[in-house]
A and B are shown apart, each in its own frame.
Chain A
Amino acid sequence: MDEKNHNNLDELLDSANSLRWEVGGNLHEALMESIYADATRIADRVVTREGEHTRFDWERNLDRLLTSRWTGFPVMLLILAVVFWLTIAGANVPSAMLASLLIDMGHPFLKGLAAGMHMPWWLDGLLIDGVYLAAAWVIAVMLPPMAIFFPLFTLLEDFGYLPRVAFNLDNMFRKAGAHGKQALSMSMGYGCNAAGIIATRVIDSPRERLIAIITNNFALCNGRWPTQILIASLFIGAMAPPAVAGLVSAAAVVGITLFGVFLTFVTSWGLSRTVLRGQPSTFSLELPPYRPPRFWKTLYTSIIDRTLLVLWRAVVFAVPAGAAIWLLANLTMGDLSIAEHLINGMNPFALLIGLNGVILLAYIIAIPANEIVIPTILMLTILSAKVSGVGEGTGVMFELTDDEAYLKVFTAGGWTLLTAINLMLFSLVHNPCSTTIFTIYKETGSVKWTVIASLLPVVMGLVLCFFVAQFWYLFTG
């Protein structure tokens, strides 16, 4: 009996299979169309609509203003400029307050407390000079700009403006093989690359999303702006007559930012034609109706979801880095600290690419956050060049208040104009910080793409610096 049923089933399947050749390949589509048609017919019969839905006139006019050929781009640049200005201007005061509270007051206070408890010097150094200082630095530099930038951005998104930006810019991104919404994750990257990478979730096409993730690093983040501004004003602005020095150094920073945009497009173009060409790609962009933004809700979610999440990750990674920095500077092998051994070992290679061992070591141990790169460079420079009278002690990160003092330390470290230019380039084109790398892994769920996103920029940066340095040596003798 079973045998017979089995035979019948086989026959049935056979005839079904041979009938499929006659039905044709788009059976599923025909089915779907008829379901849609049925649904529409039923809806027409039982749903009454009060008047036809139309878009309001003001919506149409606003769209015309924001997306037309003549006004679209100027309005966009204006709005972005205002957002950046509000962030920079607004973050200065709270950043300074946090820095004086956590670093200028908190650090000596904790040191005093530790001395009172008769804590051994190494434990006090490791915990307070290393771990505490790194975490405090990251919070003071990162928190205020993010707490201003992200809510502003989220408000624009909530209002419905950001999709219009993507709509306007899509043509440029399309030519590079990317998605217009990458403009949004890029802008978010100017605040923080980790947040920028989370923001790529809005890109629903797998290939374009990976492109946006891998190239987000070319958007200078919050932690790198201060480095660029400092180096530009110390070395590049100083070459110009004092009257225009400010303008020249600002132009240098804008130039490096634009170079980052250029690299974003070039890399997107390259990626979409090489490693990512097999990834599926599709495009659609919804332009939602304009809505009044829900101010408090936006403020709450952008501070909790974006700012605090990113800050927490950064602090978690900064803590071991602080410990590592302190240990490298304080543990000695023979006469020299481990840090000095490493610096001396890397110097020949570093000079080949126009940097120095201190900068390379700082970039390696300050992977957790770009914010602590300059303090680490300063600390390592005075350690290896034996500058006395500056800084807070071995392995303690610090910052200086005036340009003279910076220049004194950097000259002692043997810096030239080439070092400054290459540091600016390398700061733009190097591996993402560990918070960002971790975020990339969380977002892509793939070790392969995480490795590519981390190594591609650092290799590009090394190659770039190498050629700049060698041409420099060639022309300056």
Chain B
Amino acid sequence: MLSPLTTLLIGFALLLALYLFLRPHKGYLWQWRRAWQNTGRALIENALKYLYDGEYKQLPCTLQSLSGGLSISAGRAIELLTRLEALDLVKSQGNTLQLTDEGRSYALRIIRIHRVWERYLADETGVPAPEWHAEAEQQEHKMTFGEANVLAAQLGNPLYDPHGDPIPTARGELPPSLGMPMTDLQKGQTAEVIHIEDEPEEIFAQLVAQGFDVGKHIHILDSSPVRVRFALDGEEQSLAPVFAVNVTVLALAEQKSEELSYPSLSELSPGESASVVSISRACRGVQRRRLMDLGVIAGTCIKAEMSSAAGDPTAYEIRGAIIALRKSQADLILVEK
């Protein structure tokens, strides 16, 4: 029989191997799956998406920017471009690359699948926000256009994905792009967030962590080339421009900017009551429906009854029933005392 020391070492080695293999997102299993998928059809579709994005933002695309945007070598980019041209999806005009009509409608179909799937992840599942984009990047190559349309119908034909990007209609129509980057706002201006760029994931995760969400209002306190200071959810925060430029906003007229100063339900102490102004956009899908089912809608009067022995959750009287809500939920309900 083996000595205990040997078996222990073998045991630990096996556990470690299993961990490295199965670890979510970074494990070898996931890496292989991704590498497997980043070939052939997926690459063509990603290239079309990239070119369409450039067209929508009116930025010229070249072979160099394509190879950079898809993180592939220049050699592979040339190979890819040859295939795209052979398929009559892209044509080169001098140095810049342009989509053909067929290429454009193909790109719009992929974008529709991508954004419908992101909407689905945000509304119907518990997948955390920073992962929506990566999941949709996989799904867009697996799902057919017909399946995406069925899903969109089930979701009530949503107009925007959770990042605020418009979802192309089944016929490939899109509204013109609106808004401006947050860095263009002047000191003292108030604006509504209409879009948060989901790539790169690190920047998006940081923005989500700071509380950015489509539909929220921000107030610029100070803007300089090195730092943007602003108020979000009544809290003073700051961002480097490299982050701030990924937030697209729509400037608001002065009188509308009052809205941002409502307290949240979690700020009530036991015995106090307040009426609901709105549920924050960050509360989506099942969670939002549940709150609305309970009667949490604009105008409902809510009274804080008591907090639990451990401090969280807190029980509220909502339309005659005592309902306990967690602080993270009550944070998302804006009230007027």
* Interface range for A: 35 or more
Say whether A21 faces chain B, with CB atoms less than 8 Å apart.
yes
Closest A residue to B214 using CB positions: A25
CB-based contact B297/A68 at 8 Å? no
CB-based contact A174/B326 at 8 Å? yes
> What's the Cα separation between A264 and B127 when bound, in Å?
23
Say whether B143 faces chain A, with CB atoms less than 8 Å apart.
no
Most buried by A among B295, B310, B313, B315: B310
Instruction: Give the secondary structure class of A's interface.
Output: helix
Known: A25-B159, A284-B325, A467-B8. A32 touches B126 (CB 8 A): no
Say whether B4 faces chain A, with CB atoms less than 8 Å apart.
yes
CB-based contact B309/A283 at 8 Å? no
CB-based contact A285/B323 at 8 Å? yes
CB neighbours (8 Å) of B323 from chain A are 284-287
Say whether B200 faces chain A, with CB atoms less than 8 Å apart.
no
CB neighbours (8 Å) of B73 from chain A are none
A449 to nearest B CB, angstroms?
Answer: 15
Say whether A169 faces chain B, with CB atoms less than 8 Å apart.
yes
CB-based contact B309/A28 at 8 Å? no
Closest A residue to B123 using CB positions: A280
> What's the Cα separation between A464 and B158 when bound, in Å?
49
B 264-319 contacts with A by CB, 8 A: 285-287, 290-292, 294-295, 297-299, 305-306, 308-313, 315, 317
Say whether B324 faces chain A, with CB atoms less than 8 Å apart.
yes
Q: Which of B159, B292, B329 contacts A20 (CB 8 A)?
A: B159
CB-based contact B324/A167 at 8 Å? yes
> What's the Cα separation between A67 and B270 when bound, in Å?
13
Known: A207-B126, A274-B24, A471-B4. A283 touches B173 (CB 8 A): no
CB neighbours (8 Å) of B299 from chain A are 33, 36-37, 40
CB neighbours (8 Å) of A352 from chain B are 7
Say whether B59 faces chain A, with CB atoms less than 8 Å apart.
no
B 234-290 contacts with A by CB, 8 A: 285-287, 290
CB-based contact B127/A282 at 8 Å? no
Say whether A470 faces chain B, with CB atoms less than 8 Å apart.
yes
CB-based contact B290/A282 at 8 Å? yes
Say whether B169 faces chain A, with CB atoms less than 8 Å apart.
yes
B 120-164 contacts with A by CB, 8 A: 124-128, 156-160
Per-position binary interface string of chain A over residues 51-87, scored 1 when its CB falls under 8 Å from any chain B CB and 0 otherwise: 0010100000001100111001100000000000000
Per-position binary interface string of chain A over residues 171-201, scored 1 when its CB falls under 8 Å from any chain B CB and 0 otherwise: 1101000001000000000000000000000
B273 to nearest A CB, angstroms?
Answer: 13
CB-based contact A25/B128 at 8 Å? no
Known: A17-B169, A471-B4. A68 touches B294 (CB 8 A): no
> What's the Cα separation between A180 and B157 when bound, in Å?
35
Say whether A414 faces chain B, with CB atoms less than 8 Å apart.
no
B173 to nearest A CB, angstroms?
Answer: 7
Say whether B225 faces chain A, with CB atoms less than 8 Å apart.
no
Say whether A168 faces chain B, with CB atoms less than 8 Å apart.
yes
CB-based contact A67/B298 at 8 Å? no
Say whether A445 faces chain B, with CB atoms less than 8 Å apart.
no
Interface residues of A (CB under 8 A from B): 17-18, 20-21, 24-25, 28-29, 32-33, 36-37, 40, 53, 55, 63-64, 67-69, 72-73, 167-172, 174, 180, 205, 207, 273-274, 276-289, 352, 463, 466-467, 470-471, 473-474
5 CB < 8 A contacts A-B: A33-B299, A36-B297, A64-B306, A67-B306, A287-B315
Interface residues of B (CB under 8 A from A): 4-5, 7-8, 11, 15, 24, 124-128, 156-160, 166, 169, 173, 175, 285-287, 290-292, 294-295, 297-299, 305-306, 308-313, 315, 317, 320-326, 329
